[in-house]
Structure 1
Amino acid sequence: MTAKYTFIVALIALAVGVAAELAGPFIAKQMIDGHMLAIEKPYYQTNDPAGAARYNNELFKRGDRYADGETRGREIRILQAGTSFYFVDAPVAEPDGERRYQDGLLTITRGGETASYPAQPLSSDELYGFYKPELPGITQLIGWYFVFLFISIIAEFGKTYWLQSSANRVIQRLRLDLYAQIQRLPVYFFDNLPAGKVVSRVTNDTEAVKDLFVAVLSNFCSGIVTITGVYVALFLLDVRLGLICLFLVPVLILWIILYRKVATRYNTIIRSRLSEINAIINESIQGMSIIRIFRRQKKTLQEFEDLNDDYMKHQNKMLNLNALTSHNLVNVLRNLSFAVVLWYFGAGSITGSTAISLGVLYAFVDVLSRLFQPVTGMVNQLAALDTSIVSAGRVFELMDETGEPVTDGEMPRYNGNVEFKNVSFAYKKDLVLKDISFSAKQGQTVALVGHTGSGKSSIINLLFRFYDPQQGTITIDGKNVRELPKQWIRRHMGIVLQDPYLFTGTIASNVSLGDSRISREQVEKALRDVGAERLLSHLPQGFDEPVIEKGSTLSAGQRQLISFARALAFDPAILILDEATANIDTETEALIQSALEVLKKGRTTFIIAHRLSTIRSADQILVLHRGQIVEKGNHEQLMQQRGRYYQMYQLQQGSAASVEQTESADKELQVTAGAAGSGGKLSLPGNQA
């Protein structure tokens, strides 16, 4: 059963439960007016013992139990005065009024008029004789009461179960849709929204929306249905009662409107502060080593404390608002409604203008008291209602963001001929790439070099279609990338980052990324081909060693090797190496250089490099400066030009030479120092002993 139909069934169960519950006051009314107090209705002498009472060897039956056309004898009345009942062997014109028994006479005073009737006191047994015919009807009503009670219990269970199960399904679907939306959002969206805030919307805000269905919707739906049923019951009991109590409806509506007007302002800030708290916690955990190295614990703690204090301040404002507008106002409305009814009908009963039966009054009080149970429930959920609505707004704001369309299927593996034609691109206003044009043939290695901010990573972002250029075109195998689904393009691309990202799982799962098309044999072969077997063989579980929290238990070289194996296993047509060997030691780099040659074979490879010695064998080197290609060619051609690339290479080679000279000097110093320590002479370069 879908959530929609489950919700409909829950509402039906709710309506049935309310109707069964409201049947109680009507049963009580019938028991009081139709049986207990009905003993004061006129009785007539009869010869039929069915349903008749026996008194002084005579049979008497209540007037409303005679069949049409049935012969009636003389009329008698059973009336109560004080705590005793009296037998009046005569018709009584106006039984209502103040009653008093003295010297064998029952006196009834009403509105200044007095009437006296001869009467005889009834003993307990004689009085029971008149009540005995009522017992079957009372027993039947009690039976019906328990039947309706059982129905209301079953309906309440069904309502709670179905309503909450439908709510769980809605939230399950909402979270799934929200997570799918996050997967569709363009990469640049996350540049401006911290991860902690996104997590808060997926977890905290959706949980608040769940409260909307489980608690708020349950209370408001049951409350509205119950209030509707109560008013129907009140009008059935007495139209005047219903009209008098109608004033509660506009008061309740006005109350909800005014409450939400104030509460929404507080809740918006509260949910925002909660997101910011999640964001700062996430950021602090990710950067804990930096915080401790630079001794920023107190500063970070102060920032968190300021957010937490502001969150608590607005929570206290909500607490004050809820304390002022919860049970207190409900109690005022309850007391006011009872006071109005009692004043109106109490005064009317004295003048005789608005007299009602005791059963109606009892049923009214019972039904009216039931009116305030849902009102209290609705009022108590006003805070949750507003919180849920604010959270739902934040969730649907994220859902309304324009995402990238997800296209099923995939394209055949392309060759990897890439061409940039007059491409210009800006993240915001200022251009970071200006009129970029170059081509890369299948199997070629293209290196991108330049200072930080020159545009190297921007070219890769455009190639992956994380962004699209404002001007110019990018083609793969002659096809404009704008005309191809992004997922299809990326299916045949691979990347190895300077700081590779590993997911929680195992080493093997981080190579295959859970792709069913990559077998275990392919995973192990990829790891062996990049030389990972040598560095990972000492791990207790080998390739099944658990990976936790971005691979924090592995060295930088091990993480990089896993990243290389991942790229190899996916067999991309276009490979991007973003300073892939920057964090690898010399020995590990030597291990994977031959694997890199295998990895690049037959693929178009783009290398972002700062260490120019690693790209000497590149087919094409693009030198970027301030978003423009200022030099283009292979290593020998660029060295002959003696331009920017030549200066960068000589600068790096010079630095390397300085390091080598320093290391040689240190070794020489150690040798001579050792000789001096054994009795020899200390000799330093440029000094005389």
Structure 2
Amino acid sequence: MVPRSVYHSANGKEGKHMKPSTEKRLLKYALSNKKIIGFALCCLIIAVALELTGPFIAKTVIDNHIVGVESDWIELGDEQDGAVQFQGKYFKRANRVTSNDDIVGISTLAQTGRTYYFVNQQIPTYSTISEADTAGELVVSYDNQTELVSGQALTVSDLYQFFQPEINPIAILLAIYLGLILIASIFQYFKTFLLQIYANKIIQRMRNDVFAKVEELPMQYFVDRPAGKILARVTNDTEAIKELYVKVLETFVNGLIYMTGIIIALYLLNPILASICLIILPSILLWMKFYKKYAGKYNKVIRSVNSEINASLNESIQTMPIIQAFRQTNERQDEFEHLNKRHFRYQRKMIALSALTSFNLVSALRGIAFIGFIWFFGNGVLSTENFISTGVLYAFADYLTRLFEPVNQVVSQLPQLEQARVSAARVFELLDEDGEVIQDNEINRLRGEVRFKDVSFAYDQDDYILNNVNFHIKPGETAAFVGHTGSGKSSIMNLLFRFYDPQKGQILIDETDSATLSRQQVRQHIGIVLQDPFIFSGTVLSNITLNDPNVSREKAIEALKAVGANQFIDKLPKKYDQKVGENGSEFSTGQRQLLSFARALAFDPAILILDEATANIDTETEGLIQEAMHVLAKNRTMLVIAHRLSTIQHADQIIVLEKGRIIERGKHNQLIEQDGSYYQMYQMQQTGVVTKVVS
């Protein structure tokens, strides 16, 4: 696995002067296991080398064993191995005669049209032969001279005699070629299998890294960005990168090695023409540079708009009841249509650019190459000095055709490459975010003492939400925080839970500065119950244990019974193993809240935060919630944010906040007697009107 330390320093920050390019970081992931990559490349090189022997074998078959019979034949004095019997005489190809052979004479086997002639004399190698008007005579032209020679037209059976010695060598060569193809297919299989499996493994690692980074990100990151945009980076963008490793990388590597092998083969056949073919390489590189410039720009917009579409869809689905209730469907449709049109506009630009690449470019290069090929062989290279055999012509045409197969594959993958590169830049941008160091080292259970000393906090620079807040909560006490909206109640809980850190002052837990502990250590013994509890997909029981091995089934059931949740769970078909849908939509708000209370109790925190846990509870359920709160309060410190003052009258101290400052504190009766802001809020909730105004 690629360790995150490769990309991030120990404190989670990337050195500004060490930030590698997107391409280098993608390469680091690709080379995270060099052994597998190396073995796969070896398989690929062997497979390509074996496959590219085909045209060479075909050249040998054509030149040496098919066209090769049209050559000089030496008449021998007696029968020998490899000799052909014709008209009672024995003949052997001139290039196979040895010094020990008994040479009697020399003849030539020549072809004109579809007829083969046996001429009892030697005809120059580079002659042009045609039939004469007189039967049995041939016109031989060479070196600006013309000569009539006599020849015997061969029947099929006669011609077979001359081809018979070539049958076994041809069969052997074809068998070798077939064997090489089968061996190459085995190496191709291992190459494909290893690269595909490894590519998916890379994406698995990358997604793990991305999700781990998401869990490390501070709360402010999620506040500033819609969930849909973050989701798009974890899913859509990594999926685009997956195509890079699964398909594009294999295509490029395969194409590069394949083209290298073909160019080497072309040089072995004819260095001059091979050099001409190299012109296509800079053409492709120039096109790739041009394509990258514009495709990168278009893809960046496409991926960004795609994230906005995801965010819009996510928000619309979550708020569909509100949208329909306020008849905002048309407005949401217009907003979505605007994003969709922008996405389509840039996709159209990408399609136009890709259309030039996928067919036109490769077709043009192929046409230029074949024109050069035809011109080269038709412009004097068939002269005596530069004679090229039929086998070479065939092999060269075959290799030239094969050369454009990987070229076409590489060029056709350019759109996917650019899309993956832009997506990778977005993913690496997320990975480069400053994360929080995760330290899960166990600490001893907290006693539950909480102290804020001169704490001031602002979400945005100097716009302070809390100003010089001081309070002390002893272990086992219940402290309630009340105040109007925006007074800073939830901010206190966010600071205690270390979702944020204060700009000024100290937060002490058991007389230890919480800033000296990791965020995970602080949260080990602190629990929280939110106003709108989240219920995970799974079962009733898994929502209590959260699949933590430290929370047993018995402990979870005991917690559910303790808060009174068993009253509705016992009515479920499968009781504690009942399946739960997304966010527990089958349960009422009060029932979900009881489940969240049981969850907090099962984890047995030393400090428990109740963030407006009774705000949305009906009067009937409030009694159960009150009893559950009494159960939760035993042997632990509780910090309660409450709008319903009736639920906090038992608190050991009540802290009244206004505009980020503590203006009153004390027990319920004490604050009533003070006849201040708390008294006003209490009277408003009791009668619905202000009965007394503080002077």
The Cα of 1:128 is off from its aligned counterpart by 1.6
Map 1:262-661 onto structure 2 (within 5 A).
262-349=294-381, 352=384, 354-429=386-461, 430-655=463-688
The Cα of 1:350 is off from its aligned counterpart by 5.9
C-alpha distance in structure 2 between counterparts of 1:390 and 1:100, whole Å: 68
Which of 219, 223, 230 aligns to 1:198? It is 230
Map 1:159-238 onto structure 2 (within 5 A).
159-238=191-270
Corresponding letter in the other structure for 1:169: K
C-alpha distance in structure 2 between counterparts of 1:629 and 1:136, whole Å: 104
What is the match of residue 674 of structure 1? none
**Secondary structure, aligned partner of 1:407:** coil
The Cα of 1:630 is off from its aligned counterpart by 2.1
Quick one: structure 1 residues 338 and 481, their matched pair in 2 at CA, closer, same or farther if it must change by over 3 Å?
same
Greater shift after overlay, 488-497 or 58-67?
A: 58-67
Corresponding letter in the other structure for 2:260: T
Corresponding letter in the other structure for 1:632: R
What is the match of residue 126 of structure 1? 158
- Asked if the contact 2:683/2:689 (under 8 Å) is kept, the reply is no
What is the match of residue 52 of structure 1? 83
1:24 aligns with 2:54: yes
The Cα of 1:74 is off from its aligned counterpart by 2.3
The Cα of 1:68 is off from its aligned counterpart by 5.5
C-alpha distance in structure 2 between counterparts of 1:95 and 1:353, whole Å: 10
Which of 106, 125, 128 aligns to 1:97? It is 128
**Secondary structure, aligned partner of 2:505:** strand
- Asked if the contact 1:3/1:167 (under 8 Å) is kept, the reply is no
C-alpha distance in structure 1 between counterparts of 2:678 and 2:362, whole Å: 80
**Secondary structure, aligned partner of 1:178:** helix
Bigger Rg, structure 1 or 2: 1
Greater shift after overlay, 8-17 or 49-58?
A: 8-17
**Secondary structure, aligned partner of 2:172:** helix
The Cα of 1:355 is off from its aligned counterpart by 2.8
C-alpha distance in structure 1 between counterparts of 2:558 and 2:89, whole Å: 110
**Secondary structure, aligned partner of 2:387:** coil
Q: How many residues align?
A: 658
Which of 93, 101, 118 aligns to 1:62? It is 93
Corresponding letter in the other structure for 2:625: I
Corresponding letter in the other structure for 2:528: I
- Asked if the contact 1:574/1:603 (under 8 Å) is kept, the reply is yes
Corresponding letter in the other structure for 1:545: Q
Corresponding letter in the other structure for 1:446: A
C-alpha distance in structure 2 between counterparts of 1:239 and 1:212, whole Å: 35
- Asked if the contact 2:456/2:504 (under 8 Å) is kept, the reply is yes
Corresponding letter in the other structure for 1:283: E
The Cα of 1:382 is off from its aligned counterpart by 1.1
Corresponding letter in the other structure for 1:28: A
Corresponding letter in the other structure for 1:575: L
- Asked if the contact 1:98/1:110 (under 8 Å) is kept, the reply is no
Corresponding letter in the other structure for 1:329: L
C-alpha distance in structure 2 between counterparts of 1:454 and 1:73, whole Å: 120
Corresponding letter in the other structure for 1:145: Y
C-alpha distance in structure 2 between counterparts of 1:193 and 1:54, whole Å: 90
C-alpha distance in structure 1 between counterparts of 2:656 and 2:422, whole Å: 51
C-alpha distance in structure 1 between counterparts of 2:562 and 2:510, whole Å: 29
- Asked if the contact 1:443/1:603 (under 8 Å) is kept, the reply is yes
The Cα of 1:534 is off from its aligned counterpart by 1.9
Corresponding letter in the other structure for 2:637: T
Corresponding letter in the other structure for 1:9: F
Greater shift after overlay, 441-450 or 403-412?
A: 403-412
Corresponding letter in the other structure for 2:630: E
**Secondary structure, aligned partner of 2:107:** strand
- Asked if the contact 1:345/1:354 (under 8 Å) is kept, the reply is no
What is the match of residue 19 of structure 2? none
What is the match of residue 7 of structure 1? 37
What is the match of residue 259 of structure 1? 291
The Cα of 1:92 is off from its aligned counterpart by 3.0
Corresponding letter in the other structure for 2:107: I
- Asked if the contact 1:3/1:170 (under 8 Å) is kept, the reply is no
What is the match of residue 679 of structure 1? none
C-alpha distance in structure 2 between counterparts of 1:319 and 1:592, whole Å: 60
**Secondary structure, aligned partner of 1:602:** coil
Gaps of 5+ in 1: 659-689
The Cα of 1:214 is off from its aligned counterpart by 1.8
1:74 aligns with 2:105: yes
Greater shift after overlay, 634-643 or 64-73?
A: 64-73
C-alpha distance in structure 2 between counterparts of 1:453 and 1:98, whole Å: 105
The Cα of 1:150 is off from its aligned counterpart by 1.3
The Cα of 1:100 is off from its aligned counterpart by 4.1
Q: How far does the alpha carbon of each residue in 1:132-176 deviate from its partner, in whole angstroms, 9 at most, with x for none?
A: 111111111111121122123223322222221111111122222
Quick one: structure 1 residues 571 and 34, their matched pair in 2 at CA, closer, same or farther if it must change by over 3 Å?
same
**Secondary structure, aligned partner of 1:107:** strand
C-alpha distance in structure 1 between counterparts of 2:158 and 2:627, whole Å: 115
C-alpha distance in structure 1 between counterparts of 2:90 and 2:315, whole Å: 92
What is the match of residue 84 of structure 1? 115
Alignment RMSD (CA, Å): 2.0
Corresponding letter in the other structure for 2:640: I
- Asked if the contact 2:614/2:625 (under 8 Å) is kept, the reply is no
**Secondary structure, aligned partner of 1:427:** strand
C-alpha distance in structure 1 between counterparts of 2:129 and 2:277, whole Å: 30
The Cα of 1:111 is off from its aligned counterpart by 5.0
Greater shift after overlay, 213-222 or 632-641?
A: 632-641
The Cα of 1:62 is off from its aligned counterpart by 1.6
C-alpha distance in structure 1 between counterparts of 2:82 and 2:440, whole Å: 81
Q: How far does the alpha carbon of each residue in 1:65-91 deviate from its partner, in whole angstroms, 9 at most, with x for none?
A: 234655544222212122222222223
Corresponding letter in the other structure for 2:163: Y
Quick one: structure 1 residues 471 and 92, their matched pair in 2 at CA, closer, same or farther if it must change by over 3 Å?
same
C-alpha distance in structure 1 between counterparts of 2:660 and 2:98, whole Å: 106
Q: TM-score, normalised by structure 2?
A: 0.91
- Asked if the contact 2:108/2:118 (under 8 Å) is kept, the reply is yes
1:143 aligns with 2:175: yes
Quick one: structure 1 residues 111 and 95, their matched pair in 2 at CA, closer, same or farther if it must change by over 3 Å?
closer
What is the match of residue 672 of structure 1? none
C-alpha distance in structure 2 between counterparts of 1:267 and 1:449, whole Å: 50
Q: How far does the alpha carbon of each residue in 1:334-380 deviate from its partner, in whole angstroms, 9 at most, with x for none?
A: 11111111112211146555331111011000110000111111121
- Asked if the contact 2:654/2:667 (under 8 Å) is kept, the reply is yes
Q: How far does the alpha carbon of each residue in 1:233-257 deviate from its partner, in whole angstroms, 9 at most, with x for none?
A: 1011111121111101111111111
C-alpha distance in structure 2 between counterparts of 1:101 and 1:483, whole Å: 107
**Secondary structure, aligned partner of 2:85:** strand
Q: How far does the alpha carbon of each residue in 1:428-472 deviate from its partner, in whole angstroms, 9 at most, with x for none?
A: 121111111211110111111111111111111111111111111
